[in-house]
Amino acid sequence: MYTNPVLFARMLINNRRLWIPCMILCGLCAATLVLYQSDNNRHNVETYISSQTSQDFSFSSANSLTYDDVKLLLDQLFDSQMSLSGVQSIWNKLIEVWRGILTKFVHDACDLCHHNGSYCYDSIDITRYVHYINESFYPINEIKRPVGMGLYYHFDLKTLRSVNNSILPTDVSPCDYFHMLQLMINVQLILHQAQIKYFLTKGTLIGVLRHHDVIPWDTDIDLFIPQSATNKILTSFRQLEIPVIKGVSTTTTTTTTESSGIRLSKDRPSFHKDLVVYRFKNIYKVTSYKIFSLRSPIVNRTNYRWPKIDIFPYEENATHIYAYPKHQHNLGTMYYLAKTNVDPVYLRVLGPLLIPSPRHPRLSLKSMVRLGRSSVFFACEGNTFLHRYNRGPTDNWRVPCKELHKTYPFVKSERNATHSLCFEELKYPQSNRNLSLYKYRCEEDLPRTL
């Protein structure tokens, strides 16, 4: 009678007082299930494919350097005794390893999702992408010594993105995930080309800290850009113009706004040409810009498509940034955030990608996410609403992250206080290896469940 984990999860929603008794019940429940499991597979709460993956979990490495080699390089990269030229040479080696990881990702994905179609390969310009990221974060001088660096060394699209959990399920399949990142790579390219400052915010910031990836059960990528750059956004992408009659959209047309910055070669199909920006308004004003591909499916009863990147403009004065429009943010109140907690932005691991992230994660998160009294490292939140279909009940679920450790990968972090360095590794019980590694200069420890 108490064996339905979904009902349990619902009871736990935002009710921390129930946690302890519920966890005890869940424990009893799990114990019961273990007893049941030998002859009854219907109640597998952990994961649907755990048994398959633990058997043939073969990550082929795309690189000549091993995981341990990369770990050693990271140690040297942050060694204060290392000369600047030494740091530069290590950085270049790491970028080359990263290029290998990205290349493997694109090949795996195009094979799996597009039968090796040439449009798929052409849609991601790895050379240019790596060039922009390297150029922006290259340790050109002493001041630009890296603040953080790492790689998702063992990224296997099919295996990693096939896991699912009945408490916080994902509706993002491996190919959906690829399409999210295919979009993200192209959006990053355009942002770099147009010289627009951007960095991760909200759920995606939680994701890179806790999973070195998008939150496994999340569907969007969230970025911050300065309000002053919104004109550049509007000229860098085609604009989706929606004639609105009495609040109901009728037809959808697009207009092309040629950006001086974007010059596309005419001889190959371009993913960029399919990208549009849509101004998302509440009743007052534009609250975010949604960028998506016209090749993606429409989200029911909206003017946008999925996957999409949500870009939130922020206002700023000399010392602080704050969400725009002030206090009317559609995703809850955002507090002022000191620029010293944001700058210099540094690279974080988002699956096979590297993405600029605010400098002080804990303090930035505090201003960007409504945390309530709990920590995002202990409480995992999601909802039942299917964003990509714009349907379903909006029930928020909050479960202790611990209950998901056997299904989804989680970051384990260690801090070396004498050197103010933090080292993170991604743990995944279904494989007996560490999947990713990340090192950064950290002033404080982040709370961890692992």
Query: Which CB atom, from 110 or from 233, has the smaller least distance to ligand NAG?
Result: 110
Q: Could you tell me which residues come within 8 angstroms of residue 33 by beta carbon, excluding any fewer than 6 positions away?
A: 3, 43, 44, 45
Query: Which CB atom, from 164 or from 430, has the smaller least distance to ligand NAG?
Result: 164
At which residue do the structure tokens 């911050």 appear? 224
Read off the DSSP letter of residue 235.
H
Query: Which CB atom, from 235 or from 429, has the smaller least distance to ligand NAG?
Result: 429
Distance, CA of 358 to chain centre: 14
For 437, counting Cβ atoms within 10 Å of its Cβ (0-12 exposed, 13-18 middle, 19+ buried), the class is buried
Q: How far apart are CA 1 and CA 170, in angstroms?
A: 26
Query: Which CB atom, from 213 or from 425, has the smaller least distance to ligand NAG?
Result: 425
Query: Which CB atom, from 273 or from 433, has the smaller least distance to ligand NAG?
Result: 433
Minimum CB distance to ligand NAG, residue 371 (Å)? 20
Minimum CB distance to ligand NAG, residue 327 (Å)? 11
Among 289, 436, 448, which Cα is nearest to 353's?
436
Where on the chain is the footprint of ligand NAG (CB under 6 A)? 92, 95-96, 111, 115-116, 134-135, 138, 164, 166, 169-173, 300, 317-320, 336, 389, 391, 416, 418-419, 425, 432-434
Read off the DSSP letter of residue 265.
-
Minimum CB distance to ligand NAG, residue 118 (Å)? 11
Q: How many CA atoms lie within 13 A of 98 on its CB side?
A: 29
Minimum CB distance to ligand NAG, residue 432 (Å)? 5
Query: Which CB atom, from 234 or from 316, has the smaller least distance to ligand NAG?
Result: 316
Determine the residue type at 301: R
Among 351, 353, 238, 375, which Cα is nearest to 294's?
238
Query: Which CB atom, from 50 or from 173, has the smaller least distance to ligand NAG?
Result: 173
Query: Which CB atom, from 300 or from 333, has the smaller least distance to ligand NAG?
Result: 300
Minimum CB distance to ligand NAG, residue 419 (Å)? 5
Q: How far apart are CA 338 and CA 317, in angstroms?
A: 10
Minimum CB distance to ligand NAG, residue 17 (Å)? 27
Query: Which CB atom, from 222 or from 425, has the smaller least distance to ligand NAG?
Result: 425
Residue 381 host element (H or E) = strand 379-383
Q: Could you tell me which residues come within 8 angstroms of residue 429 by beta carbon, excluding any fewer than 6 positions away?
A: 405, 406
Return phi, psi of residue 301, to 5°. Answer: 60, 30
Minimum CB distance to ligand NAG, residue 408 (Å)? 12
Q: Tell me the three-class secondary structure of 286-335, residue by residue.
A: EEEEEEEECCCCECCCCCCECCEEEEEEEEECCCEEEECCCCCCCCCCCC
Minimum CB distance to ligand NAG, residue 255 (Å)? 26
Among 449, 315, 430, which Cα is nearest to 379's?
449
Minimum CB distance to ligand NAG, residue 340 (Å)? 12
